[in-house]
Amino acid sequence: MLAMIRRKMKFQREADPVWADQISQQPGIDRIWSCVQCGTCSGTCPLSIYMDFTPRRVVALVREGFRGDALGCQTIWLCASCYSCTAHCPQNVHITDLMYRLKREAIQYRMFPKRFPIPVLAREFFRLVQRHGRNSEVWLVVRMALKSNPFALLSMAKYGFGLLRTGRLSLRQDRIQRTKELQRELSAPQEEPQ
């Protein structure tokens, strides 16, 4: 019983106001300082009902500099980038861009929740495109599930079959011709972590 009781108080020493300032340097994200915490973003978000922190609370976390919570939450990985929050926000906060920004930092510092498949998928996708120049997110999902998760395989296999039969799924890796050109373009000297 006692194990379920958790301290929720936040101490000011846990806050990192410098980090908040850094994050808000990015174009569009600077508007977080105008947020009035009205919750329109959460209300319009189709996925907020599954999130551990609603998007509004993520903005509050970032503003107050609670980096650990903001980077470790599930919210940023449940964001499907539908831009509904950004379009609705009465203060023009670019919330979708903020989510992307947090995802990047969470991946960089490996702070995403354990056993959460989305960041893994994103990285896999990133690598494949880097190498071959082509890939499809959906296709990768199906393929990964087919290959990696034996439990999911049972339910996924039937989609796979349907897709194969209708000519919509090929297990052959598509690639561009001039992969070298693409790699040269992407080979920018790494800048400071974004």
Residues of span 58-117 touching another protein by CB under 8 A: 78, 80-84, 86-88, 90-92, 96, 100-101, 103-104, 107, 117
In the shown chain, the binding pattern of residues 141 to 170 toward another protein, with x for contact by CB under 8 A and - for none, equals xx-xx------x--x--xx--xx--xxxxx
What is the smallest separation between the CB atom of 12 and another protein, expressed in angstroms? 21
Q: Where are the alpha helices (DSSP H) in 24-149?
A: 40-44, 55-64, 67-72, 75-78, 84-88, 95-108, 117-132, 137-148
Spell 53-72 as b/e; 16+ CB within 10 A means b: bbbbbbbbbbbbbbbebbbb
Q: Which is nearer to another protein, 1 or 177 (CB)?
A: 177
Output 12 or 177, the one with its CB closest to another protein. 177
Closest contact distance (angstroms) between CB of 99 and another protein is 8
Could you give the CA distance from residue 146 to residue 151 in angstroms, rounded to a whole number? 9
15 makes contact with another protein (CB under 8 A):
no
